[in-house]
Amino acid sequence: MRVQSAHLPEYQAALGRLDERGLLYPCFCSRAEIAAAQSAPHGEEPKYPGTCRALSAGERQDRMAEKPYALRLDMAEAARQAGPLQFFEEGQGWVGVTVSRFGDGVLARKDTPTSYHLCVVHDDALQGITHVTRGEDLATVTAVHVLLQRLLDLPTPVYAHHKLLLGADGKRLAKRDKAATLRSMREAGESPVAILNRLRDAGAPHIAQT
């Protein structure tokens, strides 16, 4: 099993490649400052307004010596360098990618030296992943992953985003809520047919009635 915390130098190397292309800059804004600077539609996080993007090299160096900071991806410049983007979605075909809605996303922080987005595109490529199946709650961020894949010269897998699997209470099944796992169902004596039917009823794709 690959443990991401054991491979931080690899993610730092990927960040270095992006930095060499002039795509990263330090951001010193707190979440509260970002929220105060720009509102967002209900249910979405505020889009970063680019406050630190225009700082001079000298200002950046001075602040980096004194304040905690995050490394943000200059989305406009990244999109310009990447050019047109698309990925193949099972059941839909080719889907065009638009990244402008995301603003300049965080790819690393001092206390968290890499982000989920950077880890997942790096590790998928390293492990030869050709097909990614995941919940529809991650469908939107696929655009960011495809962008990073292009910028880092990594292959783009085929994607399939399925409906979220829900429990009897209507909440999505999640580890943090101690939802039942396949292993716990098997250990409890549930048959493979019963498990497949539970997954189908919860909204898992491509599972026929058994």
pLDDT at 204 over 70: no
Cα–Cα distance measured from residue 145 to residue 151, given in angstroms and rounded to the nearest whole number: 10
Q: What is the predicted pLDDT for the residue at 78?
A: 97
φ/ψ of 86, rounded to 5, equals -155, 165
Q: What is the predicted pLDDT for the residue at 37?
A: 60
C-alpha pair distances (Å), 40 with each of 24, 37, 51, 71, 104:
24, 10, 16, 22, 15
Q: What is the predicted pLDDT for the residue at 40?
A: 44
pLDDT in tens, 28-61: 988 777 766 654 443 345 678 888 998 999 999 9
Q: What are the start-end ranges of the H helices in 101-155? A: 116-126, 142-151
Cα–Cα distance measured from residue 107 to residue 16, given in angstroms and rounded to the nearest whole number: 11
Going from the N-terminus, what domains does the chain have, and what CATH number goes with each? 4-162 (3.40.50.620), 167-210 (no CATH)
Match 């690393």 to its residue by tokens. Answer: 108
pTM of the model: 0.80
Is there a contact between 95 and 89 (Cβ–Cβ < 8 Å)?
A: yes
Mean pLDDT across 71-83: 96
C-alpha pair distances (Å), 37 with each of 25, 32, 44, 46, 56:
19, 9, 15, 9, 21
pLDDT at 190 over 80: yes
Crossing angle (nearest 10°) for helices 142-151 and 75-82: 60
Crossing angle (nearest 10°) for helices 116-126 and 8-20: 100
Q: What is the predicted pLDDT for the residue at 126?
A: 95
Q: What is the mean pLDDT of the chain?
A: 85
Confidence of residue 6 (pLDDT cuts 50, 70, 90): confident
**Dihedral-angle region of residue 146 (phi above 0 means left; psi in -120 to 50 means alpha; beta otherwise):** alpha
β-sheet bridge partners, residue 135? 162
Cα dihedral sign for 52, 74, 71, 20? negative
Classify each residue of 80-119 as buried b or exposed e, where b means 16 or more C-beta atoms within 10 Å of its C-beta.
Answer: eebeebebeeeeeeeeebebeebbbbebbeeeebbbebbb
Amino acid 92 reads Q
